Amino acid sequence: MKSTKGMKIGILTAGGDCPGLNAAIRGVGKTAALKYGMEVYGFSSGYLGLVNNEYKKLSVRDMSGILTVGGTILGTSREKPFKKKEYNQYVRSKPEQIKENYEKLGLDCVVCIGGNGTMKTAHKLQQHGVNVVGVPKTIDNDIWGTDQTFGFYSAVNIATDAIDRIHTTANSHKRVMVIEVMGHDTGWLTLYSGVAGGGDVILIPEIPYDKDIIMDYLVHRNEEGKPYSIVVVAEGIKVPPKKNGQPRNKSAGTYIAELIQKETGLDTRPTILGYIQRGGSPCPGDRILASELGAYTAQMISERRFGEMAALKNGVVTSIPLEEVAGKLKVVTPDLPLIKQAISLDTCFGAKI
């Protein structure tokens, strides 16, 4: 094997933050420095740091004591350097700036820790002549090619705890409580926290709902003497536009709560969990997954396996070409065993499945 001593790697965290990012930075950085003798540079605010050449050399000391800390010590942004802009002959494009900064610093690889958008950009950078390795993270758990992303189970814990708490107040007031959970495109977090929290109705973007099925179910529960109901809704479910065709500016949770109140007369309240789901310390499972993926990423770099993403497959840490990941989404499918089991427990998904 070629020597890895003196190899230079950059690390960045991009997209929405999540618990476990610091554990991953530590996993990659410490392994790279201690096991392989590499130099580690942390770029600030996602791809923006690469464009603007904002970085800091990270010592092993800098990467100590961050395993349990939420957020990211590097900062993050949703910067998309390949988004088409007006460039003329006097203005270098962002990808050109990145390449120039990468070469000036003499980097061998940039570790891009992020979600779907981050992997798409990482793939483009690789094609542009910048070596990259991807590390998947997101509370949404929707990255193609990996069974699980870190951040997901921490968010499941937070959302489930919130649903548990809402249960007790729902019972006291005999109300229907609607809880809106994050997930614009996919319903993994809503499904898992909804099942863990004993949600009576679970609505996710992948399963289009019929409002009449939801209303009949809730009225029936009420007539059966069940004093309250819990409805867990993904933020990304479709809500119809207003009568004049204008988009509705209400959140999905608020829309569903108002609809239930109007159609059934049952006393109904919405709660939008929001950014609390992305904050705070990672759960033990996410700390382990982020550390494992991080350490494996350093190994991938040592073997010069660029243009790939570290991934978890059937409980084993491995990798997958970014080409296969970029532009895809891992969605919940209605035939998922968890959905079938939930239905057998009388959970309503707002549809005939």
In this chain, which of 140, 206, 292, 308 binds ligand F6P, going by CB under 6 A? 140
Q: Which one, 73 or 213, has the nearer CB to ligand F6P? A: 73
d(CA 202, CA 295): 37
Closest separation in Å from C-beta 236 to ligand F6P: 7
Strands 229-234 and 132-136: unpaired
16 binds ligand F6P (CB under 6 A): yes
Identified catalytic residue from 17, 62, 108, 140: 140
Q: Which one, 187 or 197, has the nearer CB to ligand F6P? A: 187
- For helices 188-196 and 152-173, give the axis angle rounded to 10 degrees: 50
> For the sheet containing 55-58, what is the strand order?
55-58, 39-43, 8-13, 109-114, 132-136, 308-313, 316-321
In this chain, which of 165, 173, 184, 211 binds ligand F6P, going by CB under 6 A? 184
The footprint of ligand F6P on residues 225-254 (CB under 6 A) is 235
In this chain, which of 81, 134, 145, 183 binds ligand F6P, going by CB under 6 A? 183
139 binds ligand F6P (CB under 6 A): yes
Amino acid at position 195, single letter: V
Task: Respond yes or no: is residue 346 known to be catalytic.
Answer: no
Residue 241 tokens, joined: 């536009």
d(CA 136, CA 66): 19
180 binds ligand F6P (CB under 6 A): no
Cβ-in-10-Å burial (0-12, 13-18, 19+) of 243 comes to exposed
Closest separation in Å from C-beta 112 to ligand F6P: 15
Q: Which one, 16 or 270, has the nearer CB to ligand F6P? A: 16
Let me know: does 118 contact 149? Beta carbons within 8 Å: no
Active site residues: 140
Residues that bind ligand F6P (CB under 6 A): 16, 138-140, 182-184, 235, 278
